[in-house]
Amino acid sequence: MPRPFEHWHVLPHGELTEVDAGILTVVGRIRMPLGSFPRRMTVVRLHDARLVVWSAIALDENEMAALEALGRPAFLVIPNDHHRLDAKSWKTRYPALQVVAPAGARANVDQIVRVDTTSPDFGDADVRFLAVAGTRAREAALVVRRPSGSTIVLNDLVGNVRDATGLAGIMFRLAGFAGHEPRIPIVVKRLLVDDARALREQLLEWAGIESLRRVLVSHGDPIEENPRLTLRRLAESL
């Protein structure tokens, strides 16, 4: 993993895409020793036009203009201490950003950019931040409600990379980030999960959301085909 960038550094990425009202996402590529790896940023518009930026990626100016047309960046969510790559440059570009991280990741994130809070108040009952149960509060999630349904935004907890090829693809599959179906990566189980039972209950709680339309993950495709069943299967894998 590259060192966190000091300045705005644009790596290859696609276009911002709206997956639901006020929920945009974009996929970039990050260079790894054996190939490139996909990473996803998600942006959620609050009811007052402020923006929650999840797992930030530095975009080119055309895409940043599209993002700013949606609203004002107000919250920068660093969902775990491995997702700090562009955090400092975002804070420099938008000094008023409130930096958010789960409590278990705070110390490491603070080394790159000062965390303002581990329990943000978005001022919007339809957007909720939480530390994922069973992860020592090192992994965060968002639950976003919209009239058309609910979206869960996850980070490293679930991998769903479908297009991994070559030697890098083999390594990503062995780590559990890539494969033919969503998985809880082996490295995540080893490094982040300290209470499998609590995590299982968390996944089942999310699976019980009748309005759930999709799960967005930081590495891989959105889970939109029966996401509730997928969450139940992930819970059973623990």
pLDDT digits (tens, 9 = 90+) for 189-211: 998 999 999 999 999 999 999 99
Determine the average pLDDT of the residues in 117-137. 98
Indicate if the pLDDT at residue 35 is higher than 70.
no
pLDDT score for 3: 83
pLDDT digits (tens, 9 = 90+) for 59-103: 999 999 999 999 999 999 999 999 999 999 999 999 999 999 999
**Minimum mean pLDDT range among 33-37, 114-118, 192-196:** 33-37
pLDDT score for 31: 79
Contact residues for 71 (Cβ-Cβ < 8 A; gap 6+)? 45, 46, 49, 50, 51
Q: What is the DSSP string of 1-52?
A: -PPPPSS--PPSB---EEEETTEEEEEEEEEETTEEEEEEEEEEE-TTSEEE
By C-alpha distance, which of 191, 222, 173, 187 is closest to 37?
173
128 pLDDT tier (thresholds 50, 70, 90): very high
142 pLDDT tier (thresholds 50, 70, 90): very high
pLDDT digits (tens, 9 = 90+) for 8-17: 999 999 999 9
C-alpha–C-alpha distance, residues 224 and 221, integer Å:
9
- Burial category of 102 from C-beta neighbours within 10 Å (exposed 0-12, middle 13-18, buried 19 and up): buried
Indicate if the pLDDT at residue 1 is higher than 70.
no
Instruction: Look up the CATH superfamily of 17-236.
Output: Ribonuclease Z/Hydroxyacylglutathione hydrolase-like (3.60.15.10)
Indicate if the pLDDT at residue 37 is higher than 90.
no
Residue found by looking up tokens 């581990």 in the block: 118
What's 117's DSSP letter?
Answer: B
